[in-house]
Amino acid sequence: MVAVEANIQELLDGSLANKRKAQEALFRHFYGFAMSIALRYSRDEMDAADIVSHAFIKIFKSIHSFDSTKGSLHAWIKKIVVNEGLDHIKSRTRFSENVELETVTEPQINNSVIEQMGAEEIMEIVKKLPPATHAVFVLYAVEGYNHREIAEKLNISEGTSKWHLSEARKFLQQQLSTIYN
């Protein structure tokens, strides 16, 4: 573990010095991690590849701003990839500000159904969500952000974020019930 961290530090130093070999090694080290994040915000692999490539260009261009005392390199890279994924979704859609939601009835979804499904099957259903609702659902259910953080990231109100989450839950319930009934 210590050796891996030392190696990553070496790659960081090399990337700071604009050494292509070090940048390539750092890219390959974090490729799987970054791609798994990008796939959640994209409709297909090509979209995900766009997100990852743009994210790594930003990473190498702003690597001097990374401060290891404020957080891990993983967290820093994740933040950049998520922001790139959100920018990608924003480029495809507008986040409506006219919808607000304060109270909602939670849909009933059988957990055992989800457990039986594979990751790709679930992702296929999530991709069917409208882009803005897709983004809010992934940020909330997968990344673990709360509505205030999502509202800040997407520049929308918390009520709008809640509305999108509610819409996502209803849609998923409908889709899952269609598949297993």
Rounded Cα distance, 88 and 51, in Å: 7
Neighbours of 151 (CB within 10 A): 18
Nearest distance from residue 144's CB to another protein, in Å? 7
Single out the segment in contact with another protein by CB under 8 A; choices: 38-46, 71-79, 87-95, 128-136. Answer: 38-46
Nearest distance from residue 75's CB to another protein, in Å? 15
Nearest distance from residue 126's CB to another protein, in Å? 7
Nearest distance from residue 2's CB to another protein, in Å? 26
> Is residue 49 within the footprint of another protein (CB under 8 A)?
yes
CB 136 within 8 A of CB 168: yes
Contacts of 120-124 spanning 24+ positions with Cβ under 8 A: 123/39, 123/40
Handedness of CA 72, 73, 75, 76 (dihedral sign): positive
- Give the tokens for residue 39: 């796939």
CB 144 within 8 A of CB 75: no
Interface residues with another protein (CB under 8 A) are 18-21, 23-24, 27-28, 31-32, 35-36, 39-40, 45, 48-49, 52-53, 56-57, 60-61, 103-104, 106, 109-111, 114-115, 117-120, 122-123, 126, 138, 140-142, 144, 146-147, 162, 165-166, 169, 172
